[in-house]
Amino acid sequence: MPVKSAAGAPKWYPVSTHPRSEKKAYDALTKKGIEAYLPLQRQLKQWSDRKKWVEEPFIKSYVFVRIRESEQADILMTQGVARFIYFSGRITAMPDRQIKELKLLIASPFELEVTEEHLQPGEPVLIKAGPLKGLKGEVVSYKSQKQLMIRLGNLGHSIIVNVPASLIDRLQKRAF
């Protein structure tokens, strides 16, 4: 019995979609019979007249597909799909393990947030919006979640608060 080569085995690939087209792209891919994964997260949305729970894409403008390399052209010809993600000049493939971990994270009861910011412990930051706007703080690692430590002048105390990364600006080291 011949053994399949590893090159012909299906792999997971992250695919960029057109803005706000993740669900359309996912539907079009699955209608083509392509194994796809769109991580969704429940969020409470506020309109002027009502609140409603909706499922929003966890990672904006991304869908994941499990295909063979020979199927890449078919993916690009799918409604809502913009392009494959490249790293070092090659289309990026992901290990099955990373998709499993992403599914576990989405299923967990923890509040999750995706950010492109790469904040480091000890980095000074400024809160740019919300009720704490204007406060300066320092990123710390606390209970394995990224949180801000807000130092209150000369009181000798610190307050730990959860602040979404989208509300944070980096400060120069000397500004803190």
Global pTM reads 0.66
Beta-carbon contacts of 99 under 8 Å, excluding residues fewer than 6 positions away, are 12, 37, 64, 66
| Domains present along the chain, CATH in parentheses | 8-107 (3.30.70.940), 124-175 (no CATH)
From CA 70, how far away is CA 90, in angstroms rounded?
A: 15
Three-state secondary structure along 113-150? CCCCCCCCCCCEEEECCCCCCCCEEEEEEECCEEEEEE
What residues are paired with 81 via a beta bridge?
17
CA distances from 42 to 38, 92, 108, 109 (A): 13, 28, 12, 11
13 — alpha (psi -120 to 50), left (phi > 0) or beta? beta
From CA 91, how far away is CA 65, in angstroms rounded?
A: 13
pLDDT digits (tens, 9 = 90+) for 68-103: 999 999 999 999 999 999 888 899 898 898 888 888
Both tokens of 105, joined, read 């994270």
Could you tell me which residue, 149 or 46, shows the higher pLDDT?
Answer: 46
pLDDT digits (tens, 9 = 90+) for 14-72: 999 999 999 999 999 999 999 999 999 888 888 889 999 899 998 899 999 999 999 99
CB 124 within 8 A of CB 170: yes
Top mean pLDDT of 47-51, 60-64, 125-129, 170-174 is at 60-64
Whether 130 shows a pLDDT value over 70: the answer reads no
From CA 25, how far away is CA 101, in angstroms rounded?
A: 22
Looking at residue 133, its pLDDT comes to: 72
